[in-house]
Structure 1
Amino acid sequence: MNENLTEMLRTNFEEVEPPLSKQEAVEEANRCLYCYDAPCITACPTGIDIPTFIKKITTENVLGSARTIMEANPVGASCARVCPTDELCEGACVLHGSTKPIMIGKLQRYATDWAIHNEKVLFRSGRSKGQSVGIVGSGPAGLSAARELAVMGYEVTIYEAEAEAGGLNTYGIVSFRLPKRISFWEVEQVKSVGVMILTNTKVGRDIELTELRNKHDAVILAIGMASVPFLQIEGEKLEGVYDAIEFVKSTKNKELTEEFSGKRVAVIGAGNTAIDGATCAKRLGASNVKILYRRTEHEMTAYDFEYEFAKQDGIEFRWLTSPAKIIGNQEGRVKSIEYMEMELTDADVDGRRKTIPTGSRQTLPVDFVIRAIGQTRYAEWLTQEGIKVDHGVIEVDHEHYETSIPGLFACGDAIFKNGSGEAMVVTAAEQGKQTAYSVHKFLLNKRKPLRAEEVKYG
């Protein structure tokens, strides 16, 4: 059975969730009650007018439906696929519990897929205000900020270190949940309103932040987070140990070969990125994939639907298991991992239960290890630039998203800290929008009134 599952998944990076047909979408849309005070809107971090976009599907105004979605959420096509809708909009649906909630995520995908298939351009730039904004990073937060500012009439340039724009959506979410083509369409929508995107341009290497601040009237840092931290155990630099973020990126770039075929893989961590790494390894032909987590399933940070998806893919979970050492063979490749069995302590002041070793150690034969224990920050670079940070997190005035340096703003994962909610694509998109509005207010105060001969009409 497991061999059959492995063969079925091998190299299958196509989207797992099928789309709704036109008939299915219309029938589902007609189930909506179009609530006057719709709780689904409140539950959506970007405030999409969900009843309106659903109603437009029933009247075959799919273009209007897509525009309603994307106006509120500039990465709405991606969010239709990766948002935890059961916890957000669908979880708040008034039909929840009585029958079943409206499939809001799938209807959102139906409308945006229609716009993609029909090559629709949804927005246009506003009349020029004669001021420019530089944005560092083209992930969900950066793209959202850029689109809003361009529609308001600002000249916007995005500086992106990677070869392709889109950030997390392009590189960091597995292809069988979010194909690159969806992220690229959202990037093109942003470029269609006049935003310039300079790829292969890393701030601090190819251009200095000081230069950007001199060049633009305001600058936004939407730099996300960096690499997965090391485990701080012996053997983690052996050949066959991967950073989960780079591993997923390699699968999206189709850089990995048959080396995983028939192999055994251990993934360290139990967040969404760990699930992505594990399910990617399975699709690369790994015969056995285990997720090792020092706590239990009750403490894991992966979404419920991600957890269920992993189990359906045949991923095994080892709870209360913490790696102690990675053991290599004579060629310097991974051959096994030694782990400690753990037990939970009582909850401490922050309400989270910690773990302590029981004293028992076991060895697990593996061929590859994937680290997925969170991400590091760009703390050193930020500090060198004189930006105030707290444990690598950029400190901002959360009403205006302005950093300790006037005219320099920040949003997205770069300002996310523990206890401030959940880091999601949709929350990053909303922060990008709100940051754009704050930049607009900042530049209104900075703008010089035009002389009569400079005023242009038409």
Structure 2
Amino acid sequence: MQPDIAPGRLSVDTLCRHFSDAHPPLTGSQAVVEAERCFFCYDAPCIEACPTGIDIPGFIKKIQSGNLAGSARTILSSNILGGSCARVCPTDILCEGACVHVAAGDPPVAIGALQRHATDWQMQQATHPFTRAAPTGRRIAVVGAGPAGLACAHRLAMKGHDVTIYDAQDKAGGLNEYGVAAYKLADDFAQHEIAFVEQIGGITVQPGHKLGRDMTVASLTAAFDAVFLAFGQSGVRALALDNEGLPGVLNAVDFIGQIRRSPTKADVPVGRRVVVIGGGNTAIDAAVQAKRLGAETVTLLYRRGTETMSATVEEQTWARNNDVLIRTWAAPTALTATPDGAVAVTFTRGRAVDGRPVYDGAPFVLEADMVLKAVGQLVMDEPAQIGGPAIRTEGGRIAVDAFGRTSEPRVYAGGDCTAGEDLTVAAVRDGRNAAETIHADLSAVKEN
């Protein structure tokens, strides 16, 4: 027998509501009222907490005065993907978490919502806020059309270089297109933002081009003046258990990608009983979306306590508000098939002993029709294995210096394929900073 996994558990109208924008935008008057709560700190801790260093008091002050064009330009000059970051960033542990209102026991200024207000206004305008410099004649290849690649490409194009972005997927966008819950970036926002980025000119996107299959690092360095690697993490960690290939046992990132690709969500199969294994944002996104697709029960299990989950407290609360049961201190130890086609997942209870996890409790079993694995991702395609120079790696990721340079001349890297925070905003920072390094290096070569 097969597990009870089926599409269309809810009506199309219900699915449309469940996957619409989770956080509606501020109105103009709401934005002004919220902006007036800002203290406009001279030594603003919110700026320090933002990986891209946006002048947060500056852009909020411009909203307060009605200067949306200036506000958006302030944001986008530091973070060209400010629109998506406003929607997906864990602001509760970044800028809003550092807001001085929090120290006083008050709610933080809604920085993310204000950032969205300004950038959404800008994206609705006919003109781009930045102009492209005179062509330099230099050509740069960017591998990966996610946040790091797009940010790098935009900054390089703005400086007059010609950029070709290669991506293995059919659409550009990376995790913003395929790896984020549909209700976070609703209404095809990722593609609208890419079109906005491309307005600068000088950027060509080549989807369906995979590194190691359609080109190599060596072929790119031979054809371009510089190469920026931003292909993210292409592999998913296994549970390292027998029977991981049972029907109904899926990778959470593949499940999320399937939802993202579906216009109506009505054709996406979901189990009646769903178990999600993991404690990060991917696990939360998979669990909540399974519930919103019509799963009767969704249980998320994490091997340690909630305080060590990489999903923020806000994300955990969001899951619980969506009827997801979160169980902690549960380590998966076995997967077996049941006679009726379900998957029985055995967990061992754990606890903290002297600050370290110990799994010596009684086992328990949960039966599920669908098991979603969300225990982390890996960089599977080592540059040394996909043609070209043996680029140095550390811990399975590309090693870079503080400026985004790899061990090979004219090859740079950033985003999730390098060590870092694995955040969209951090990837944007990496891409932007690497572009500045590439521009400086190419300018130095030209002068010599």
For the pair 1:16 / 2:28, whether they are aligned, the reply is: no
- d(CA) in 2 for partners of 1:43, 1:339: 38
Contact 1:134–1:159, Cα closer than 8 Å, also in 2: yes
Equivalent residue, structure 1, for 2:397: 393
CA shift for structure 1 position 260: 2.3
CA shift for structure 1 position 279: 0.5
Equivalent residue, structure 1, for 2:363: 361
Normalised to the residue count of structure 1, the TM-score between the two structures is: 0.89
Q: What is the percent sequence identity of the aligned residues?
A: 39
- d(CA) in 1 for partners of 2:148, 2:266: 29
Question: Aligned with 2:236: secondary structure?
Answer: coil
- d(CA) in 1 for partners of 2:231, 2:208: 14
Equivalent residue, structure 1, for 2:434: 435
Q: For 1:235, which of 205, 230, 243 is the aligned residue?
A: 243
Equivalent residue, structure 2, for 1:185: 192
Question: Aligned with 1:69: secondary structure?
Answer: helix
CA 1:264/1:25 → structure 2, altered by over 3 Å: closer, same or farther?
A: same
Question: Aligned with 1:183: secondary structure?
Answer: helix
- d(CA) in 1 for partners of 2:345, 2:261: 28
- d(CA) in 1 for partners of 2:320, 2:14: 13
Contact 2:138–2:162, Cα closer than 8 Å, also in 1: yes
- Of 56-65 and 313-322, deviating more is 56-65
Q: For 1:253, which of 261, 264, 270 is the aligned residue?
A: 261
- d(CA) in 2 for partners of 1:156, 1:445: 19
Question: Aligned with 2:61: secondary structure?
Answer: helix
CA 1:43/1:186 → structure 2, altered by over 3 Å: closer, same or farther?
A: same
Contact 2:167–2:206, Cα closer than 8 Å, also in 1: yes
1:262-303 CA distance string (max 9 Å, x none): x00000111110001100100110000001111111221111
1:58-99 CA distance string (max 9 Å, x none): 232212211221111011001111112222222222333334
- d(CA) in 2 for partners of 1:73, 1:179: 20
Contact 1:379–1:392, Cα closer than 8 Å, also in 2: no
Q: For 1:286, which of 280, 292, 295 is the aligned residue?
A: 295
Contact 1:28–1:103, Cα closer than 8 Å, also in 2: yes
CA 1:87/1:380 → structure 2, altered by over 3 Å: closer, same or farther?
A: closer
**5+ residue gaps in structure 1?**
1-5, 348-352, 450-458
**Equivalences for residues 202-221 of structure 1 within 5 A:** 202-221=210-229
- d(CA) in 2 for partners of 1:223, 1:357: 40
CA shift for structure 1 position 50: 1.4
1:161-187 CA distance string (max 9 Å, x none): 111111111111101112262222221
- The letter of the residue matching 1:424 is L
- d(CA) in 2 for partners of 1:10, 1:323: 31
CA shift for structure 1 position 256: 6.5
- d(CA) in 1 for partners of 2:432, 2:413: 11
CA 1:201/1:256 → structure 2, altered by over 3 Å: closer, same or farther?
A: farther
Equivalent residue, structure 2, for 1:161: 168
For the pair 1:175 / 2:174, whether they are aligned, the reply is: no
**5+ residue gaps in structure 2?**
1-9
- Of 316-325 and 118-127, deviating more is 118-127
Aligned residues: 431
Q: For 2:342, which of 331, 334, 337 is the aligned residue?
A: 334
CA 1:64/1:174 → structure 2, altered by over 3 Å: closer, same or farther?
A: same
- The letter of the residue matching 1:260 is V
Equivalent residue, structure 1, for 2:7: none
- d(CA) in 2 for partners of 1:104, 1:275: 23
Equivalent residue, structure 1, for 2:3: none
Question: Aligned with 2:131: secondary structure?
Answer: coil
- d(CA) in 1 for partners of 2:14, 2:394: 42
Normalised to the residue count of structure 2, the TM-score between the two structures is: 0.91
Contact 1:227–1:243, Cα closer than 8 Å, also in 2: no
CA 1:258/1:96 → structure 2, altered by over 3 Å: closer, same or farther?
A: closer
Q: For 2:113, which of 106, 109, 129 is the aligned residue?
A: 106
- d(CA) in 2 for partners of 1:159, 1:389: 22
- d(CA) in 1 for partners of 2:323, 2:375: 21
Question: Aligned with 1:108: secondary structure?
Answer: helix
- The letter of the residue matching 2:251 is D
CA shift for structure 1 position 329: 4.2
Equivalent residue, structure 2, for 1:137: 144
Equivalent residue, structure 1, for 2:6: none
1:166-216 CA distance string (max 9 Å, x none): 111111110111226222222112211221111111121112221111111
CA shift for structure 1 position 368: 0.4
- The letter of the residue matching 1:199 is P
CA shift for structure 1 position 346: 2.9
Q: For 1:92, which of 95, 98, 101 is the aligned residue?
A: 98
> What's the RMSD between the two structures over aligned residues?
2.1
- d(CA) in 2 for partners of 1:109, 1:403: 34
Q: For 1:324, which of 333, 354, 366 is the aligned residue?
A: 333
- d(CA) in 1 for partners of 2:329, 2:444: 55
- The letter of the residue matching 1:366 is A
- d(CA) in 2 for partners of 1:285, 1:120: 42
- Of 200-209 and 89-98, deviating more is 89-98
Question: Aligned with 2:363: secondary structure?
Answer: strand
CA shift for structure 1 position 381: 4.7
Contact 2:278–2:374, Cα closer than 8 Å, also in 1: yes
For the pair 1:38 / 2:44, whether they are aligned, the reply is: yes
Contact 2:259–2:268, Cα closer than 8 Å, also in 1: no
- d(CA) in 2 for partners of 1:381, 1:406: 14
Question: Aligned with 1:96: secondary structure?
Answer: helix
Could you say which structure has the greater relative contact order, defined with CA pairs below 8 angstroms and 6 or more residues apart?
A: 2
Contact 2:275–2:299, Cα closer than 8 Å, also in 1: yes
Question: Aligned with 2:412: secondary structure?
Answer: strand
Question: Aligned with 1:307: secondary structure?
Answer: helix
Equivalent residue, structure 2, for 1:51: 57
CA 1:259/1:185 → structure 2, altered by over 3 Å: closer, same or farther?
A: closer
